[in-house]
Chain A
Amino acid sequence: MDLISSLLRRPDAASVLSLVGVLAFYMLFGGVDLGRFAAAGSWVNFAANLGIVALPVGLLMIAGEIDISIGAMIPAGSMTTAILSGYYGLPIWVGMAAALALGVLVGLVNGLLTVRTTVPSLIITLGTLVAMQGVVLSASELLTGNSSVGVKAPEWAKVLFGQLIGGSHQVIIVWWLILTAFFAYVLQETRFGNWIYAMGGDKESARNAGIPTQRLTIALFVLSATCASFVGMCQAILFNSAQVSGGMGFIFNAIVSVVVGGVLLTGGFGSVLGIFFGTVTFAVVIQGIYFTSIDRNWSNLIIGLVLLIAVAMNESFRKLALSYVPRKGNKAVNV
């Protein structure tokens, strides 16, 4: 009982339960063969692409901010790579570096505007989202006269960023796992993690406690925009082409993953493990439905229900965590 209750008090409890619930539902009512499903690449690929964006967005949400400009940064990253290294024939590393640099730049703009003004970051990043869409479309039409550009990556870039392992699993999965471990380490094990929680709890007090809240906010925005352009860059290398459109779906998908993962929308509470499982849950619902006998048009209904149920669970688990009092003599530190 003690073990169960201590597991439920974790911010990631609801996401794990959601995942188990969705899998059970698909197996019972959709006739999913779990072995075949586990071996499939489709949902893991989907989760990896989404997860790399959801992780930094989740960190931002824990810190009390949000970034929706990621929706434009994914095509921006892939188009930058394709235009420079494909259309202009520059070495691939130039296109890749430029894509990541563009992420850093837009992240800096988002971060600076957020800390310098009192405008909510939702509105600021809505502005940069729309603006970057315009920039990408115009630049593409102006420079190449086309809204879709091809790119041929050399072998080493393919191996690192755009190969299919075993013919089905994108190599970006490895990057996703590495980044998950990295972000989990930062949030749970370093001082920066404590600062992120404190900032999301009360920005004013965090600043008074000596935390460089402005620099940290800017760094988190740089991280999210750069991760988004990284995903775009990998897609361009994988598919040998880039399109101006696409990426908008990532905005809501990432937010749903993060919220199902137990992050409090108003900040101050959440975990990387939760975001990870939230992303997996989302991917399993969307891609897993193809393995079932259920009509795929229902998948959005399931997503909506999962979101609502997960939020309700998060709410009650958080109450549980707040009201938790260790039993007398359990593990008292005697002084």
Chain B
Amino acid sequence: MSEKIPVLELQRVDKSFGPIEVLNEVSLKVNAGEVLCLLGDNGAGKSTLIKTLAGVHKPTRGKILMDGQEVAFAGPRDAAGRGIATVHQFGGTFPLMSIGRSFFVGVEPTKGWGPFKRFDRKKANEIAVKAVQDFGITRIDDGERLVGGLSGGERQSLAIARAVHFGARVLILDEPTAALGVKQASHVLRIVNETKRRGLAVIFITHQVMHAMAVGDHFAVLIRGAIAADFRKGEKTREEITDLMAGGETMAQLEANVEGNT
């Protein structure tokens, strides 16, 4: 395989809060059109790692590279501006806003001029609905619906579609399937695959091995803030990963379900 330049790379990143070391020499890379699965139990340092990637925390030591160039994020907005988008467990964070309104928070399309510049809600609704339908969620067809009325999977899909629409290059998914049922989870996994197909680099954080195996190209297991294992698809069996991780008993059943949908 030719040496591609990873979209995002961490080189021996340490992060400590005072005397407490949370991340220890973490090295990771993720290429365009690939899914990197970050596995780890609760407390392994996953959230700190996400926040470091998203520009919330600055690494204590080590480097962050984008396209081979070293970068230092000034904050979450800077990281977002460079194309790093984070989607959290519950997707949309504005449950009482309409789909169109929440899709465009901070970047509202306007019509008119000067002091009469108006928020173009019709256009916002249309674009939002189209963006999410392009991902195969055809059940969302009215941009005036409230985000809080969508199912967990639909909300995740909407959040992912939003990130893609606004030109994200790296998509960080923080436990997107943790709170979902089997069917909903397979919807989200299908969307992860679609995102990958569109050439985004995806970092998929989970503690469910079966979900990771369904979409991952590359796997890293995080234990107590350090990378305990780093391998590519097919290099380890499900049982071996399960050994590294806890859980995963209903894997076979779920995997069959996901396969059926892709």
Contacts and interface: CB of A to CB of B under 8 A. Distances in A.
A321 B149 contact: yes
Contacts of B110: 191
Given A194-B101, A201-B95, A210 B107 contact: yes
A325 B150 CA distance: 9
A117 interface: no
Interface in B86-119: 93-97, 101-102, 104-108, 110, 117-119
Contacts of B119: 189-191, 193-194
Nearest to B131: A335
Interface in A249-303: 264, 268-269
Interface string A43-78: 000000000000000000000000000000000000
B25 to A, nearest CB: 28
B101 A197 contact: yes
Given A209-B105, A324-B149, A197 B118 contact: no
B146 interface: yes
A323 B146 CA distance: 8
Interface string A298-327: 000000000000000000001001111110
Contact of A325 (B76, B77, B130, B149): B149
A206 B106 contact: yes
Contacts of B222: none
A189 B94 CA distance: 18
A272 to B, nearest CB: 15
Contacts of A209: 105-107
A269 B110 CA distance: 22
A269 to B, nearest CB: 4
B221 interface: no
B93 A205 contact: yes
B134 A335 contact: yes
A205 B87 CA distance: 11
B80 interface: yes
A331 B148 contact: no
Nearest to A197: B97
Contact of B141 (A194, A202, A326): A326
B146 A321 contact: yes
Nearest to A320: B149
A332 interface: yes
A211 interface: yes
Contacts of B105: 194-195, 198, 205-206, 209, 211
Contact of A190 (B94, B117, B134): B117
B126 interface: yes
Interface centre among B95, B97, B117, by most chain A C-beta atoms within 10 angstroms, is: B97
Contacts of B141: 326, 331-333
A311 to B, nearest CB: 16
A208 interface: yes
A264 B134 CA distance: 34
A269 B98 CA distance: 11
A330 B102 CA distance: 23
Given A191-B108, A201-B95, A268-B96, A326 B145 contact: yes
A283 B117 CA distance: 34
Given A194-B101, A198-B102, A333-B129, A323 B96 contact: no
A325 B148 CA distance: 11
Contacts of B80: 208
Interface centre among A190, A194, A323, A332, by most chain B C-beta atoms within 10 angstroms, is: A194
A281 to B, nearest CB: 23
Contacts of A264: 96
A321 B241 CA distance: 44
Contacts of B118: 189-190
Given A322-B146, A335-B133, A202 B108 contact: no
Contacts of B129: 333, 335
A173 to B, nearest CB: 25
B142 interface: yes
Contacts of A197: 94, 96-97, 101
A191 B93 CA distance: 18
B130 A201 contact: no
Interface string B119-142: 100000010011001100000011
Nearest to A202: B93
Interface string A182-218: 0000000111011101100110011011110000000
Interface centre among A206, A208, A211, A326, by most chain B C-beta atoms within 10 angstroms, is: A208
Nearest to B133: A335
The 7 residue pairs across chains A and B that have the minimum distance between CB atoms? A209-B106, A201-B94, A210-B106, A205-B93, A202-B93, A191-B108, A332-B141
26 contacts: A190-B118, A193-B119, A194-B104, A194-B108, A195-B106, A198-B97, A198-B105, A198-B106, A201-B93, A201-B94, A202-B93, A202-B94, A205-B94, A208-B77, A209-B105, A210-B106, A268-B96, A318-B96, A321-B149, A322-B146, A324-B146, A325-B145, A331-B141, A332-B142, A333-B141, A333-B143
Interface of B: 76-77, 80, 93-97, 101-102, 104-108, 110, 117-119, 126, 129-130, 133-134, 141-143, 145-146, 148-149
Interface of A: 189-191, 193-195, 197-198, 201-202, 205-206, 208-211, 264, 268-269, 318, 321-326, 330-333, 335
